[in-house]
């Protein structure tokens, strides 16, 4: 019989991918689905980055690189941190990794074990809690409250620290935006401008829905509307009904943590046209269901 | 004080990289060093693979992919396994990962914990033992003996299996060669032919050295000569002296396991010219030191 380490039974799922699978299955059945569930930007990578990758391939940059990343890239990160925050960071303390989850995995594995406590933002990225539980450490949610503008409260966070606290995960603004390093910034500026237009569209549209209010998000491309005024007691049930009945895929707030009840998450990494159509469908659905 | 999980104190080093660092430092001092320590092939990636990568970049394959890899690649792996070994492997059971160490990390983490025993080839890739010790499992070396043609013995391996054995790592032929999937094979054929020429050069040259004998390797691009006849009791001391005094970087067999004493490892992922020069230097060194 195959015996694996118990810790692998304690890895959670990122429910956005389950919603994506269900949305894909409904679309395969011929249903018209607008997917605001997943945060997959609909922009191509800026052209100068693509050209740099093609040049590296042609120039023969094909062999092993240092496992922490090539020095010119680490130096560029250091310069960018200096430009943004005025801090001096030694490039030898910079490590390049393929994606964000790797950093969480490494940091949580490095500090997490039974008896240790790890503080993490809640609602937040579901993988924080999943990884903490995987290591056997105790997950301690730091509440991210709408009344604090979805930032953490220093007092509340400090009060959660104990002698067993090993790691405190901070992400502020929550799910921060695009990191553009050296090179022309026009493409990035254009993307940011377009996300800004969509953000205004989403926030205005959500605030016009019956029972819904939405603060303006300050990072990334997600809105986190408060839906507690809709009469739906369960945000996950509302998300599921929106997908099945109105053809709009969104994620229920509880998929991002215990403090996520009463909220939905919508990605606006989608076209303005799709965002408008999705808002109309949600409006129709909520008016019909409120009337029912 | 920073407290990290004990397991990270049990991660070993791959000494080939320490030798590489020393060789690089000596070269920076102006010393003429031939590096046969590291297995970094000196061929460019075949052109059709580079062209496919450039096409994908131009076509806009820039977004998230499934975490197990895109289906066409998993299907190509499945077809390749069928061509090579006549087996049918469902592409849904194929997972694409960036490099070999990831597979070892995942497999050993999945099965390794205190009380479990993991069998691994010795001499072999140093990361096997390092990762097994990291998980707290007991590393059980499977001797890879010259008298068995550097293959594992089925009897010896079976005798090491106990009720606590969780994982048995087999790599045969040890450190196997290049996997070329679909697409033109000319470039791969040319590489294999060149490695074949270099292999003959290395094996013949090593067998001509005083006190050295070398079997013909059957995979990858490493020779593992027996140096017990040189009078050097420690293969690591010999490797170190070859680097410091003769300017040839090679790795001592003990860096690959407890059964590696009495051997050196030479990579022949280097030019024929460099290989010839390195063999001459080794010859001069061994004759001088044998005479001393």
In a domain, B38, yes or no: yes
In a domain, A264, yes or no: yes
Checking if the pLDDT of B173 tops 70, the result is: no
Residues B200, B287 within the same domain: yes
Rounded CA separation B77/B181 (Å): 7
pLDDT band of B183, cuts 50, 70, 90: low
Residues B237, B268 within the same domain: yes
Domain that holds residue A155: 65-168
User: Hey, are the CB atoms on A4 and B54 less than 8 Å from each other?
Assistant: no
B61 inside 8 A of chain A by CB: no
3-state secondary structure chain B: CCCCCHHHHHCCCCHHHHHHHHHHHHHHCCCCCEECCCCCCCCCCCHHHHHHHHHHHHHCCCCCCCCCCCHHHHHHHHHHHHHHHCCCCCHHHCCCCCCCHHHHHHHHHHHCCCCCEEEEEECCCHHHHHHHHHHCCEEEEEEEEHHHCCEECHHHHHHHCCCCEEEECCCCCCCCCCCCCCCCCHHHHHHHHHHHHHHHHHHHHHHCCCCCECCCCCCCCEECCECHHHCCCCHHHHHHHHHHHHCEECEEHHHHCHHHCCEEEEECCCCHHHHHHHHHHHHHHHHHHHHC
pLDDT band of A290, cuts 50, 70, 90: low
Quickly tell me which residue has 């194929």 as its tokens. B94
In a domain, B264, yes or no: yes
Q: What is the pLDDT of residues B61-119, one digit of tens each?
A: 888 888 888 899 999 999 999 998 999 999 999 999 988 888 899 999 999 999 999 99
pLDDT of residue A205: 96
pLDDT of residue B290: 64
Rounded CA separation B18/B243 (Å): 12
Q: What is the pLDDT of residues A79-108, one digit of tens each?
A: 999 998 999 999 999 999 988 888 899 999
User: Hey, are the CB atoms on A40 and B60 less than 8 Å from each other?
Assistant: no
Quickly tell me which residue has 């549209």 as its tokens. A205
Residue B253, both tokens: 């067999």
CATH number of the CATH domain containing B228: 3.90.1150.10
In a domain, A215, yes or no: yes
Question: pLDDT above 90 covers what percent of chain A?
Answer: 62
Domain end among B168, B196, B224: B168
Of A70-74, A142-146, A178-182, A262-266, the poorest mean pLDDT is in A178-182
Quickly tell me which residue has 């067999």 as its tokens. B253
B63 inside 8 A of chain A by CB: yes
What distance in Å separates residue B90's CA from the closest CA in chain A? Answer: 20
- Burial classification of residue A273, based on how many CB atoms lie within 10 Å of its CB (0-12 exposed, 13-18 middle, 19 or more buried): exposed
Q: What is the pLDDT of residues B227-282, one digit of tens each?
A: 999 999 999 999 999 999 999 999 999 999 989 999 999 999 899 999 999 999 99
Residues B16, B69 within the same domain: no
Residues B100, B40 within the same domain: no
B244 inside 8 A of chain A by CB: no
B45 inside 8 A of chain A by CB: yes
B1 inside 8 A of chain A by CB: no
Are B144 and B258 in contact by the 8 Å Cβ rule? The answer is no
In a domain, B52, yes or no: no
Residues A23, A85 within the same domain: no
Are B201 and B275 in contact by the 8 Å Cβ rule? The answer is yes
Domain end among B101, B136, B168: B168
In a domain, B179, yes or no: no
Are B23 and B37 in contact by the 8 Å Cβ rule? The answer is yes
CATH number of the CATH domain containing A118: 3.40.640.10
Q: How far apart are the first and last CA of chain B?
A: 53
- CA B177 to each of CA A113, A212, B69, B98: distance values in angstroms, whole numbers, following the listed order: 39, 60, 22, 17
ipTM of the complex: 0.78
- CA A179 to each of CA A163, A218, A268, B197: distance values in angstroms, whole numbers, following the listed order: 35, 15, 18, 48
Computed over every residue of chain B, the mean pLDDT equals 89
Segment holding A35, helix H or strand E: strand A34-35
Domain end among B168, B196, B217: B168
Residues A188, A283 within the same domain: yes
Residues B157, B126 within the same domain: yes
Checking if the pLDDT of B182 tops 70, the result is: no
SS3 (DSSP) at A133? helix
Among B5, B41, B58, select the one facing A112 at the smallest CB separation: B5
Among A44, A60, A110, select the one facing B5 at the smallest CB separation: A110
Residues B11, B67 within the same domain: no
DSSP state of A213: B
User: Which residues numbered 131-190 in B keep a CB inside 8 Å of some CB on A?
Assistant: 135, 166
Residues B188, B164 within the same domain: no
Residues A14, A109 within the same domain: no
In a domain, B77, yes or no: yes
Chain A residue numbers with beta carbons less than 8 Å from the beta carbon of B102 are none
Of A113-117, A228-232, B11-15, the poorest mean pLDDT is in B11-15
The 10 Å Cβ neighbour count of residue A85 is: 9
In a domain, B50, yes or no: no
User: Hey, are the CB atoms on B50 and A62 less than 8 Å from each other?
Assistant: yes
What distance in Å separates residue A131's CA from the closest CA in chain B? Answer: 14
- Report the domain count for chain B: 2
User: Hey, are the CB atoms on A110 and B166 less than 8 Å from each other?
Assistant: no
Residues A149, A209 within the same domain: no
Residues A191, A268 within the same domain: yes
Q: What is the pLDDT of residues A216-238, one digit of tens each?
A: 887 778 999 999 999 999 999 99
Q: What are A143's strand-pairing partners?
A: A122
pLDDT of residue B10: 87
């Amino acid at each position: 019989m195959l015996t694996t380490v118990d810790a692998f039974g304690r890895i959670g799922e990122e429910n956005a991918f389950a919603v994506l699978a269900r949305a894909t299955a409904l679309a395969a059945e011929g249903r018209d689905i607008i997917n605001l569930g997943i945060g997959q930007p609909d922009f191509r990578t800026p052209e100068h980055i693509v050209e740099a990758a093609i040049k590296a391939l042609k120039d023969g940059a094909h062999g092993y690189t240092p496992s922490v990343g090539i020095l010119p890239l680490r130096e560029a990160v250091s310069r960018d941190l200096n430009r943004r925050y005025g801090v001096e960071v030694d490039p030898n303390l910079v490590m390049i990794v393929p994606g964000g989850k790797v950093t969480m995995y490494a940091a949580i594995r490095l500090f997490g074990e039974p008896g240790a406590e790890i503080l993490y933002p809640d609602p937040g990225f579901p993988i924080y809690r999943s990884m903490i539980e995987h290591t056997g450490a105790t997950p301690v949610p730091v509440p991210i409250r709408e009344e604090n503008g979805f930032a953490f409260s220093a007092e509340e966070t400090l009060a959660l620290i104990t002698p067993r606290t090993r790691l405190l995960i901070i992400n502020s603004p929550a799910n921060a935006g695009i990191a553009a390093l050296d090179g022309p910034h026009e493409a990035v500026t254009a993307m940011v401008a377009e996300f800004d237009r969509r953000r205004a569209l989403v926030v205005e549209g959500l605030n016009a829905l019956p029972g819904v209010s939405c603060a303006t998000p300050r990072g990334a491309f997600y809105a986190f509307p408060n839906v507690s005024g809709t009469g739906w007691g369960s945000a996950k049930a509302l998300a599921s009904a929106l997908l099945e009945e109105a053809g709009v895929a969104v994620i229920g707030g509880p998929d991002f943590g215990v403090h996520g009840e009463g909220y939905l998450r919508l990605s606006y990494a989608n076209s303005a046209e799709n965002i408008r159509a999705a808002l109309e469908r949600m409006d129709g659905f909520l008016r019909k269901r409120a009337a029912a």
